[in-house]
Amino acid sequence: MPLPPSFAASPPPITAIVETYGLRWTNNNLALIAICFLIILYLILLNFFKSELESGSEPAGALPVVREPEIVRIEASVFSYKEADGGHDDECAICLDEFEDAQKCRKMNNCGHIFHHRCIDRWLKVDRRCPLCRSCVCVVVHP
């Protein structure tokens, strides 16, 4: 018994599309796609490394820049704290400990803030501004 005409063997749909539009994957097509991929990858990496060099980051093997040492003068007076003087802060804003009688403290000349001598000296090694009001309290003296 022969099959009805609707069930006759016809090519699979994908094969029909390939034959209709000529989409055949040949070695030339694959090579062209691989070359395009490599060119795009090269451009991306080139852009990445170019931006890294322009950002000023030093290469891994670069030698550090040696600067001449600076002489810094702290514009603050050292005194022994006395509770009876009054008008002063009750505690150091850096360590949050209360001031005690006869402790060495520094009073900033520009702003008048008071800190423990050791606390503010450590602070000023990192930042030359008052920790409370951010006013400059150090002056660089060139030799």
Helix (H, G, I), strand (E, B) or coil at 72: strand
What's residue 51's pLDDT?
74
Global pTM reads 0.46
What's residue 69's pLDDT?
60
CATH code for the part of the protein at 71-141: 3.30.40.10
What's residue 56's pLDDT?
56
d(CA 4, CA 57): 76
Chain mean pLDDT for the chain: 75
What number of other Cβ atoms are within 10 A of residue 99's Cβ? 18
What's residue 86's pLDDT?
59
Helix (H, G, I), strand (E, B) or coil at 13: helix
Residues 95 and 122 sit within 8 Å (Cβ to Cβ): no
d(CA 28, CA 39): 17
Q: Where are the domains of the chain?
A: 13-54, 71-141
More confident residue, 129 or 51: 129
pLDDT digits 0-9 by tens, 31-75? 889 999 999 999 999 888 887 766 655 555 555 665 666 666 777
